[in-house]
Structure 1
Amino acid sequence: MSEAETRELSPGAQIRSLMRSLDRATLSTGMAGKDGWPYGSLVMAAVDQDGSPLLLLSDLAEHTTNLKADPRVSLLFDGTAGLAEPLTGARASVLGQVEKIDDDRMAERYLRRHPSARMFAEFKDFNFYRVNVERAHIVAGFGKIHWVEAADILSERAPELEEAEAGIVAHMNEDHADANQLYASVLLGRAGEGWEMTGCDPEGCDLRLDGEVARIDYDAPVRDADETRKALVALVKRARQSDAG
């Protein structure tokens, strides 16, 4: 078992890991003109390489009207699905302020995570947003409850990797589909054939098959394309050794 799998994560790293592993969240906004009554809605989410949540929202949605009046939001990332006792699982409420963005790299990162959203992204009334995280509250089981500030949640940016990400993902899907499948089926125990990579960041990579997503972490953080290549090769070797055993 790798160091990444055995080490105890800090509360901030747990929050970041939870956000990276999920593709949806509950968005809470204060209702405009209704004395700020809380309004919750389901949104499909992605995160940037540092862990900042990314959203694609319609101007016609109630939550967008709300956030235009007050940009403060809360996103609940719920990692309790499938647990017999859901309250033993991890969930995090991430607080921050939304900012409309016009950034092709971040937009493409979101759309690789949610390919069916490409048609909506072309509509004039849909826009991309980033949540500028301020703090978060995580409950990860009995007694594991923490408030965590943004500096301990978000990871350090890796500009060289951000620039190289799209090319790495395309290369893995076009030339190393077998590696993606090994990551999902052998290392993560996920069913199905045809898993594709949707993103990579300093801590790991994201996979998708139809409506399912999966996340695999590296043994150690990476900063650029060469270090990412070495980390991906190491995962393949581990998967093949595990499969042979």
Structure 2
Amino acid sequence: MKKKGVEAAKEKPVIRPTDDQARLLAKGLVRTSRFGALAALEAGTGHPLASRVAVATDLDGTPVILTSMLSGHTAAILGTPSCSLLVGEPGKGDPLAHPRISLFCEAVRIGRDDPAHDRLRTRYLARHPKAELYVDFGDFSFFRLDLARASLNGGFGKAFDLTRQDLLSPVDDPERWAALEVSAVAHMNEDHREAIKLYAEVLCKAEEAKWRLACLDPEGLDLVAGDRVERLWFDELLEDPQDLRQVLVTLAQKARKA
């Protein structure tokens, strides 16, 4: 006799095996997020504190936030670095039907003398240009939210557990990548706006808008137009940043043919 209801649901695995499609969805949610809900333990009380924060990513996909020392969530992650970040914007209809991911992290404050600071500043402002008004204020600091693991909900009945390795892109020489990224992004936005438009509207199938290139990394590029963000993945992981130029040319040619 066929089992129904609660009994049948108990026998069905809740967590699906992690595959490449789940990894790509998870990475895309993190890379394209403009904001997220940071969950931490309130300093002094230990009570759960949830706060909205603007989000960017480092080259390897690690989430990055910029916070004021006056904020309750800054005191929280300084006192207890273990925290979580929920990202994934709902669309039309039932918000629970849209993908989202909970990231389990350790918050690491990045000092202004840290070699990573300038790289994170550049990438953060590329995603949040209005933050230039306060990014250099003395009471603001960047935090990398170093990933431990994640819980992906791809919609009803689509749950996955992911590891750090599932979410991050290996970057052997971040400073070399960062230097080339700055020059390549500036060059593309100044001299190749047509190619950027093709990336967004043909390859990503986005709506027509004034798209610009925000960031580059070994796995793809981020395109922005106002509040809209699109992620274009490369066909394969790039080990050498010098390969970027040919990849960008090839993508433009592909879009023109399409």
TM, length-normalised to structure 2: 0.84
Kept in 2, the 8 Å contact 1:219–1:231? The answer is no
| Amino acid corresponding to residue 22 of structure 1 in structure 2 | S
1:60 to 63, 70, 95: 70
2:105 to 96, 121, 142: 96
| Amino acid corresponding to residue 186 of structure 2 in structure 1 | A
RMSD of aligned C-alpha atoms?
1.7
Distance 2:228 2:98 in 1: 19
Which structure 1 residue ranges, 5 or more long, are not aligned? 1-7
Kept in 1, the 8 Å contact 2:91–2:98? The answer is no
Count of residue correspondences: 233
Q: Which residue of 2 aligns with 1:139?
A: 153
Distance 1:189 1:99 in 2: 36
Q: 1:158 to 1:199 in 2, by over 3 A?
A: farther
Aligned-residue sequence identity (percent) comes to: 36
- Answering whether residue 221 of structure 2 is matched by residue 217 of structure 1, we say no
- Answering whether residue 165 of structure 2 is matched by residue 151 of structure 1, we say yes
Q: CA deviation at 1:83?
A: 4.1
Q: Which residue of 2 aligns with 1:120?
A: 134
- Answering whether residue 23 of structure 2 is matched by residue 9 of structure 1, we say no
Q: Which residue of 2 aligns with 1:84?
A: 93
Distance 2:240 2:188 in 1: 15
Q: Which residue of 1 aligns with 2:6?
A: none
| Amino acid corresponding to residue 25 of structure 1 in structure 2 | G
Q: Which residue of 2 aligns with 1:184?
A: 200
- Answering whether residue 115 of structure 2 is matched by residue 106 of structure 1, we say no
Q: CA deviation at 1:229?
A: 1.5
3-state SS of the aligned residue for 2:238?
coil
Kept in 2, the 8 Å contact 1:197–1:207? The answer is yes
Kept in 1, the 8 Å contact 2:185–2:214? The answer is yes
Q: List structure 1 runs of 4+ shifted beyond 4 angstroms.
A: none
3-state SS of the aligned residue for 2:122?
helix
Q: CA deviation at 1:17?
A: 2.1
Q: Which residue of 2 aligns with 1:201?
A: 217
Distance 1:122 1:155 in 2: 28
Kept in 1, the 8 Å contact 2:218–2:241? The answer is no
| Amino acid corresponding to residue 123 of structure 2 in structure 1 | R
Kept in 2, the 8 Å contact 1:161–1:223? The answer is no
| Amino acid corresponding to residue 171 of structure 1 in structure 2 | H
| Amino acid corresponding to residue 197 of structure 1 in structure 2 | L
3-state SS of the aligned residue for 1:121?
coil
Distance 1:110 1:65 in 2: 21
TM, length-normalised to structure 1: 0.88
Instruction: From the CA coordinates, give the structure whose radius of gyration is larger.
Output: 2
Kept in 1, the 8 Å contact 2:203–2:255? The answer is yes
2:37 to 21, 26, 30: 26
Which structure 2 residue ranges, 5 or more long, are not aligned? 1-18, 112-116
| Amino acid corresponding to residue 234 of structure 1 in structure 2 | T
